[in-house]
Structures are given as C-alpha cells and as structure tokens.
Amino acid sequence: MKYKVPRGTRDILGKEMLIWNKVNNSIEKLAKLNNYQKIETPVFEQTELFKRGVGETTDIVEKEMYTFDDKSQRSLTLRPEGTASVVRAFVENKLYGGRLPVKLFYNGPMFRYEKAQKGRYRQFYQFGIEALGSEEPSLDAEVIFIGWKLLMDVGIKAEEVKVHINSVGCKECRTKYKEKLVEYYQDKLNNVCSNCQTRLDKNPLRLLDCKNESCGKLAEQAPSIFDVICSNCNEHFEHVKVYLDIFKVPYVIDKRLVRGLDYYTQTAFEYRNQNATSTQDAFGGGGRYNGLVEELGGPLTPSIGLAMGLDRIVLALLEKEQPQDSLEFFVACMGDDGVNRYATEIMQLVREKGYSCDKDYGKRSFKAQMRLADKCNAKRAIIVGEEELNNKTLTLKNFNKGKQEIISLEQLKQQLERGSLSV
Ligand code: AMP
C-alpha cells in the first residue's frame, strides 16, 4: 500500500517553506505595525455558523463544505473561511464591550471541497484581518492597504497586482440594484450559464462575477450600482477613495466586483495577479459587512475584513525566486568517539551563542563532510581531529574567503561573544 496525500492537499517543504516563512514573518510584522492582534479559532465549528455566516446561497455552503457528524451526532464543519469564526469569537467573548474597533488577524488553513488545480486546493491557507466596530472610511482604506502592502513587502511588484474596488451599497440601495439587475437579465436568460439562471432569483449580484465567457460579456453591459446608489453609500465610497490615495494604494473601480452575501455592505475589493494565466488570479479580497455581527447574535457592529490566499502568493514568489537556506557553522570531525564528543560540545557552544550550527551524524569521510557543509550552504567550518581534541583547539575555515586558522576553544568562545570572527 502506497500512501498519498488526499486530493487537493499537499506537503509544504524545502525551498517552498523558506518562502512561507518569509511571508509569515511579513504578516506578523505588518499586523503589529497596524495594531492588529492575533486570534486563533478552532479549525472546525458548528455547521450552522457557516450556513448563517457565509450564506446558504453561496457556492461554499451549497457545495464545498467538509461537514461531518462527530460521535455525539453534532454536525461540525472544517472552516471554509475565517470571518464567521472571528465574528463568532467577537460575540461569544463579548469583545464589543471594549474599545472599538477591535482589530484582529488570523493565519491558518481553510478547507473547501473544490476542483483541485494549480492555485486552488482543498486545504489552503489564508491570512485575514477583521476590524470590527467602526464605519469610518479610513478603516476601509487601512484594511485594503494592508493586503496590498503585504504583497509589496514579500516581493510582488506594484505593476504585478491590480487592486479592484467597488461598492455593493446597503440594504436599501442594493434592493433597488437587484431589481435593476433582474430586469436587465429577464430577457437574456437564454444567454447565461445554468448556474446563473438559478442564481438570478436568489442572488442576482452573483451573475456579475460569473467566470463563464458569455455571462461575462453580459455583465459588462449590466447596470451599475452607481446608477441607484444612495447618497450615504456614495459618500462612503468617495471617502474610501480619498483615503486610499493617502495610503498610496493604486486602485481601479470595477463595477463587476461583488461580494454576493446580503450582509456585505458598501466596500468590496480584490487584489488581482496581473501575471496569472488562469482564473485563479485573485491574491485575496474582502469587504465591509455591517450586518454580519448582528446576523450572528451580536449588537449592530459595522465591520470590514480581508482574506489573502497565501498559497497563491507563495506560488507567484516561487516563479520569481529560488531561496536558499544557509548555516553559520558546520562542525567536521575526524577521529574516534572522543573527537565526536568534542565536536558535539563545540556545536552546542556555538548554538548557545546564537549561531546556527550542524554536524555530520553518519561517520562520513572528511571529504564527504565538506560536501555536506557545502550542501547546507555553510559559511564556515570548524574542523576537529585528535590533535585539536588534545590541545583544546580547532581549525576555523571561512568558505567565502578561502582562509583558515587554528584557534583555541577559548578564543572561539570570545569571538562568538564579541560577534566578530577572526576568519
Ligand atoms: P475568498 O474569501 O473566497 O474570496 O478567498 C480569499 C482568497 O483566498 C482568494 O482570493 C484566494 O487567493 C484564496 N483562496 C480561496 N479559495 C482558495 C482555494 N481553494 N485554494 C487556494 N486559495 C484559495
């Protein structure tokens, strides 16, 4: 029996992991700079939370959830996204009672039963932020900025990504907009895909972001929310644009961009990869959800959130760079157990002083140990044999400079403490 990872999942290791580490470090730094606190929620929740929080008519809830009964017949679901869980935590922990907005971020695996392909997986990773408790348009701009800045910080170039923004209005103007859309599509139903035919009644906004070619053409000609937007939502949108300029985020207005759920309000945005050749072109996106906290049992709390697809960001970076790990020291030893013990002692000393260090564990020849040091991309080698053991000395070799020197163990200790090596 040969075991394989389940379809749509994969192992992350080697060079790819170096990029993940870089991305994760950038996330932590960026979140801290902007005063977002980390939250961990369970990877599974009550199924009902997602039905309510994501929406019954979404693809996620209709087709993509990993739902199971536990041994006590409770229906649980692996989280398909992060917002519902964070909002549940916000309500359950009564965070609305403190200083608002509450600014949170998460970073972890999500699960959707999707058609697995490059850039689309069944277990994938999202960094998300949620800012709960303010309708200030500068907060919308801050959230949009953070997604954009993450892309810049990890090494995506400004010309490689386009920030699309739109407004989906509020309950009032969206109701009018939906009527307009239904009217527009009424005599065009033969020209849209079967999915869109059934969506028109339940969720007409979703017709606008259908990836089907003929649906796309019709969507281009469809009425815009800005034909019917109320003055409050329009003003909000105008202010968001002003703040985006202050945050120096370049953007385009895209009237086809929607978040198709009822409690999504006003601002919607997405980051599109300009180099993407497939439909998996979104690095991330988000929007305002002024109605969601109430929907999930909390007080009225206008909020906005963002989710970035880390797998896609890492994929884009892997196409641009080949990162290499490196090691500060490699200890090579030639001799019996006594020498090996001496080498181990030195290795531990070096590590204690804060330098990465490794050695051979396979009793290899000296030549093979040097090859191993090279494979580890070691900057320096510490070479020990019988003589060094007896004299408490070592040979320090700098690979880049091609120089080496015999020093005492005591000297090595002092040099490491000073942070400057003689070779
Ligand atoms: P969404 O909340 O569905 O808009 O997802 C936000 C971001 O997560 C998307 O823009 C993608 O970058 C990423 N994402 C969503 N679903 C997947 C998936 N199945 N595989 C990989 N990345 C995904």
pLDDT of residue 393: 98
- Please tell me the residue having the least CA distance from ligand 1 atom 3: 81
10 Å CB burial of residue 62 (0-12, 13-18, 19+) is: exposed
Average pLDDT, stretch 283-307?
97
Q: Please give the share of the chain, as a percent, with pLDDT higher than 90.
A: 91
Of the ranges 89-93, 188-192, 196-200, 321-325, the best mean pLDDT one: 89-93
For the Cβ of 289 lying below 6 angstroms from any atom of ligand 1, the answer is no
pLDDT digits (tens, 9 = 90+) for 186-219: 999 999 999 899 888 888 998 998 888 899 999 9
Confidence bin at 263 (pLDDT 50/70/90): confident
130 annotated among ligand-binding-site residues: yes
- Please tell me the residue having the least CA distance from ligand 1 atom 12: 309
Atom from ligand 1 closest to the CA of residue 120: 20
37 annotated among ligand-binding-site residues: no
- Please tell me the residue having the least CA distance from ligand 1 atom 21: 120
For the Cβ of 60 lying below 6 angstroms from any atom of ligand 1, the answer is no
pLDDT of residue 259: 75
pLDDT digits (tens, 9 = 90+) for 351-403: 999 999 999 999 999 999 999 999 999 999 999 999 999 999 999 999 999 99
pLDDT of residue 330: 98
pLDDT of residue 209: 86
92 annotated among ligand-binding-site residues: no
Name the average pLDDT for the chain. 96
Atom from ligand 1 closest to the CA of residue 122: 19
pLDDT digits (tens, 9 = 90+) for 10-29: 999 999 999 999 999 999 99
Say what the pTM is: 0.94
Distance 214 CA to ligand 1 centre (A): 24
pLDDT of residue 71: 98
286-307 burial, b if ≥16 CB within 10 A, otherwise e? bbbbbbbbbbbebeebbbbbbb
Atom from ligand 1 closest to the CA of residue 112: 19
For the Cβ of 130 lying below 6 angstroms from any atom of ligand 1, the answer is no
264 annotated among ligand-binding-site residues: yes
For the Cβ of 311 lying below 6 angstroms from any atom of ligand 1, the answer is yes
pLDDT of residue 53: 95
Distance 278 CA to ligand 1 centre (A): 14
Average pLDDT, stretch 36-60?
95
Average pLDDT, stretch 222-228?
95
Confidence bin at 260 (pLDDT 50/70/90): low
pLDDT of residue 57: 81
Q: Please give the share of the chain, as a percent, with pLDDT higher than 70.
A: 99
pLDDT of residue 373: 98
Average pLDDT, stretch 249-268?
88
pLDDT of residue 49 exceeding 90: yes
Distance 120 CA to ligand 1 centre (A): 7
pLDDT of residue 327: 97
177 annotated among ligand-binding-site residues: no
For the Cβ of 269 lying below 6 angstroms from any atom of ligand 1, the answer is no
For the Cβ of 272 lying below 6 angstroms from any atom of ligand 1, the answer is no
263 annotated among ligand-binding-site residues: yes
